Amino acid sequence: MSNGETGQPILAASAAMRPAEPANAATSPSPLMIDPFGRAVTYLRVSVTDRCDFRCVYCMAEDMTFLPKREVLSLEELDRLCTAFIEKGVRKLRLTGGEPLVRKNIMTLIRGLSRHLDSGLLEELTITTNGSQLARLANELYDAGVRRINVSLDTLDEQRFKAITRWGELGKVMDGIRAAKEAGLQIKINMVALKGVNEHEIIPMMEWCHANGHDLTLIETMPLGEIDGDRTDQYLPLSLVRSRLADRFTLTDIPYKTGGPARYSKVEETGGRIGFITPMTHNFCESCNRVRVTCTGQLYMCLGQDDMADLRAPLRASEGNELLSDAIDEAIGRKPKGHDFVIDRRTRQPAVSRHMSVTGG
């Protein structure tokens, strides 16, 4: 089987064809990646493409220039890179974009990576998606071992959805969410809270999510990349949103975790969960267990810092992974304590110049 892009062989899709794992693969201890502040890095987010079929106003400009294909890691290289991290202690792997499901032959990569679920080395393989491709791929995702997905959805109003995403079709996304639920996938809806845009829809979104068995996570907009609008006009602190919710609902903090930064509460009246990701009002750096790799092989130890390590060069320099492993170790050794996001009228420039679609949403 080839990866469909370079003609190079990629790991086979079916369990019967996968290479045998060592008998003790699931029980043998893995070396942990420990950063300078004693945090174990066990969660990897990998962007498989910077391309997307939407142009969300808080994420990217409408006239985006995307990377040349030669700069983007092949599916085989992405498999090698993810496997190296898994062998070094990563237990949760999330594939992101751009929109990951628009990457050509992406299911070949996902089916290949599922061998680590079979071996027990990987606890979870998940996807963050805008939902546009779920109607055709939901069953394949479930068959490949994916059990949970995040769907980015900021509104249930068709006109507002078009205004936020520019190119998206709400009906297509809703069909995808229904298909994912029918396939057996657990769904978490990610909603970026935007002042004056969708803040009045947060309660209806929460009630819709909980009525359909979905979790809802609210996210503060972050100062990443140059966009067409002014983020000071978009920024809505979730401390204010939570206060508003508490006026109408009983929110009980719970210890539920998915591996990411969200802090969850149970909404007693609906019985569902709501999460809050607050990089601006209350950062979550003290417990950060995550690193991110771009589709070009750049490892970012912190979403809000520019420091990165190039993993593409060592990945392509040798068929073995020793150089890659050394580069990962060196990078983890300089993972910072936290980020310094600011959004105000005096700080109009983004905290970092790269767009969220480059690092991985």
Task: Judge whether 209 is annotated as a binding position.
Answer: no
CA angle 200-206-208, nearest 5°?
Answer: 105
3-state SS class at 115 = helix
Task: Judge whether 59 is annotated as a binding position.
Answer: yes
Task: Judge whether 152 is annotated as a binding position.
Answer: yes
Task: Judge whether 337 is annotated as a binding position.
Answer: no
> Domains along the chain?
27-190+287-359 (3.20.20.70)
3-state SS class at 65 = coil
Task: Judge whether 291 is annotated as a binding position.
Answer: yes
Task: Judge whether 197 is annotated as a binding position.
Answer: no
297: left (phi over 0), alpha (psi -120 to 50) or beta: left
Task: Judge whether 285 is annotated as a binding position.
Answer: yes
Task: Judge whether 45 is annotated as a binding position.
Answer: yes
Task: Judge whether 292 is annotated as a binding position.
Answer: yes
Task: Judge whether 94 is annotated as a binding position.
Answer: yes
| pLDDT in 10s for each residue of the chain, 361 residues | 445 454 444 544 444 334 344 333 444 445 589 999 999 999 999 999 999 998 888 777 777 778 898 999 999 999 999 999 999 999 999 999 999 999 999 999 999 999 999 999 999 999 999 999 999 999 999 999 999 999 999 999 999 999 999 999 999 999 999 999 999 999 999 999 989 989 999 999 999 999 999 999 999 886 544 545 554 577 889 999 999 999 999 999 999 988 778 899 999 999 999 999 986 555 567 778 899 999 999 999 987 778 899 999 999 999 999 999 999 999 999 998 875 544 444 444 444 444 455 555 5
Task: Judge whether 97 is annotated as a binding position.
Answer: no
Q: How far apart are CA 47 and CA 16, in angstroms?
A: 28
Task: Judge whether 128 is annotated as a binding position.
Answer: yes
